[in-house]
Structure 1
């Protein structure tokens, strides 16, 4: 199943709850929540209090993407704030196996992300244990970057692995996705689509519906 996950990093934070409700009512199944610590990535975004506050605005799945160093320290806090899926970066964890176990022990789905420059080999050992693989199609930490098409080879390799092993698991892609490159992204095998500025620039409800139409 194809799933749209609008990234609230591109929303208007003055009316964040309303912006989340807008895309959820328009049909977006996930809300993508980017957490950045200023260490693993240059930018700083928001943390548990903001997530806990906007959690009240929708029943949509909160897809929480932790771009933070050693996220294992905060797993329970993010779950308690309302995360349904927690994604950690293979590059940011000393013990990725322990981190995955901790996420699952909290009763939510576990996902692992890799950056554009990280070889796909780095995520392959964890594919059996995680619920979703996230392939970054921009360098994490900033919104509005241009899509890096070379990462689609990683998506194809991961999707091929899942098919060969009869696993129907999610592959998420995040960064620079728009109406023009969406078809090639879906064709490569990604089925969870993160879109920020392409959703929230202009009419968020109309953009959400257009994405969903194309994804069908």
Structure 2
């Protein structure tokens, strides 16, 4: 199982976006959190900032949409060039149709679940997606502590993927650091979003590498 590191730019200096992303050129993606102050109680940025990150052409973009009406808005993020677009299952009326539309636009599809959302009702949807995001904090704010109570859910997700013989990755987002990444990797995660841990480190590049090596040792 490979390891993917996707640092969240939510915790970077957005006024110096290009230079901040250049600090993490050894990462696999730049993770961009889009929040609308409706689905989650916070407002970040939308399509223009995502397009700005894409135009930098430094890293592919992994967009995490914490927004209402995902059916309407998510395809636009694929259309502008995101490599991966993740919508929340709780915000999608027709998740299969949405996943197929995102694929039609040329992007990979991720589906995210809040901590309280059970994976079981969505197991049948796994063949339609490329990644399942298990939130390891309540979505909406960076810098929160990792919820170890999510580890059994990560394991159930990985077991369901393996049982179906699918090539679906398991992403974790929230509180990922040197102290927690091994726990998530051992449980079955292979895509790791880290925000504060990377951009508040003395050397973001070295922090990405340290997180990658810790995850590799426990996958």
2:187 is matched with 188
Could you tell me which residue of structure 1 aligns to residue 47 of structure 2? 48
Q: Secondary structure at the match of 1:23?
A: coil
Question: How many Å apart are 1:59 and its aligned residue?
Answer: 4.3
Separation of aligned partners in 1, 2:180 and 2:75:
36
Q: What is the rounded CA distance, in whole Å, between the counterparts of 2:121 and 2:112 in structure 1?
A: 10
Task: Say if 1:33 and 1:65, in contact at 8 Å, map to a contact too.
Answer: yes
Distance in 1 between the 2:159 and 2:213 partners?
A: 26
**1:23 and 2:33 matched:** no
1:18 deviates by 1.1
TM (norm. structure 2) is: 0.93
Counterpart residue number, 1:103:
102
The runs of at least 4 consecutive aligned structure 1 residues that moved more than 6 Å come to: none
Q: For the structure 1 residues 181 and 101, does the alpha-carbon distance in structure 2 shift closer, same or farther, using more than 3 Å as the test? A: same
* Correspondence for 2:213: 213
Structure 2 distance, partners of 1:55, 1:193, is 20
Distance in structure 1 (CA, Å) of the matches to 2:45 and 2:121:
28
State the distance in 1 between where 2:56 and 2:207 align: 20
Cα RMSD over matched residues?
1.3
Distance, in Å, in 1 between the alignment partners of 2:40 and 2:153 is 22
SS of corresponding position for 2:79: helix
Q: Are the counterparts in 2 of residues 115 and 135 from structure 1 also a CA contact under 8 Å?
A: yes
Native 8 Å contact 2:130 2:169 kept in 1:
yes
- Structure 1 portions without partners, runs of 5+: none
Aligned-pair distance for 1:189? 0.4
- In the other structure, the counterpart of 1:39 is 38
Does the 8 Å contact 2:22/2:58 carry over to 1? no
Is 202-211 or 138-147 further displaced after alignment? Answer: 202-211
Describe the SS at the equivalent of 2:139: coil
Unaligned runs of 5+ in 2: none
Q: Give aligned pairs, total.
A: 214
The offset of 1:134, in angstroms, is: 0.3
> What does residue range 102-181 of structure 1 map to in structure 2 within 5 Å?
102-181=101-180
Q: What is the rounded CA distance, in whole Å, between the counterparts of 2:79 and 2:19 in structure 1? A: 22
Shift in Å at residue 125 of structure 1? 2.2
